[in-house]
Amino acid sequence: MYCSDVFDTYAYSLLKNHFHLLVYVKEDVWVPKHNKQGMIRLNASKQLSHFFNSYAQSINWSVGRTGGLFESPFERKHVDNESYLDSMIRYCHFNAYKHGFVKDFRDWEYSSYHSILNKNEGIVAVSKVLELFGGDVSLFEKSHLERQLLNPDRYGIE
């Protein structure tokens, strides 16, 4: 992924009208310059900005439109403990249910939930996410299902 030098993706959910992306921002990232002469320090916000601008330009070009693609800038929240991190992972995965796109969060194919269950390290840093659950995919799944059963209306989102 274009931004993988500056962050690890822990969870995502792509919805019809918005998306959620939970990332761990790497600090003090240096990479070789394009001409291989020296190093350059990367900035996560700038990398995301370049990525979103490039994406918007590509979509605009493909459908023959101009202008902004996103309604507003992205929102950031600082996650400062493992409990909150666990909650935010579930929030991403339960979001399609919350917005009424599916009756069961597990039916939404455009989230990282199944990638983590299947240990597919493609976009998601699965091993790092599973570390939060003792490295056990069944504990990850159990965490989601228990929250769903405890609070079926909210799916246990704190």
Residue 95 has a pLDDT of: 92
Domains of the chain, residue spans: 7-25+74-150
CA 59 – CA 106 distance, rounded (Å) = 29
- Residue 7's DSSP bridge partners are 25
Per-residue pLDDT tens digits of the chain, which is 158 residues long: 567 778 899 999 999 888 999 998 888 777 778 777 887 777 778 888 888 888 889 989 999 999 888 777 678 888 999 989 999 999 999 999 989 999 899 999 999 999 999 999 889 999 999 999 999 999 999 999 887 766 656 554 44
**Taking a C-beta distance cutoff of 8 angstroms, is the pair 111, 11 a contact?**
yes
**Taking a C-beta distance cutoff of 8 angstroms, is the pair 11, 89 a contact?**
yes
Which tokens in the block code for residue 124? 């998601």
Helices (H), 8-109: 44-63, 82-98
Residue 158 has a pLDDT of: 47
Residue 108 has a pLDDT of: 96
Residue 88 has a pLDDT of: 93
Q: Taking the model in full, what pTM does it have?
A: 0.82
Other Cβ atoms within 10 Å of 68 Cβ, number: 9
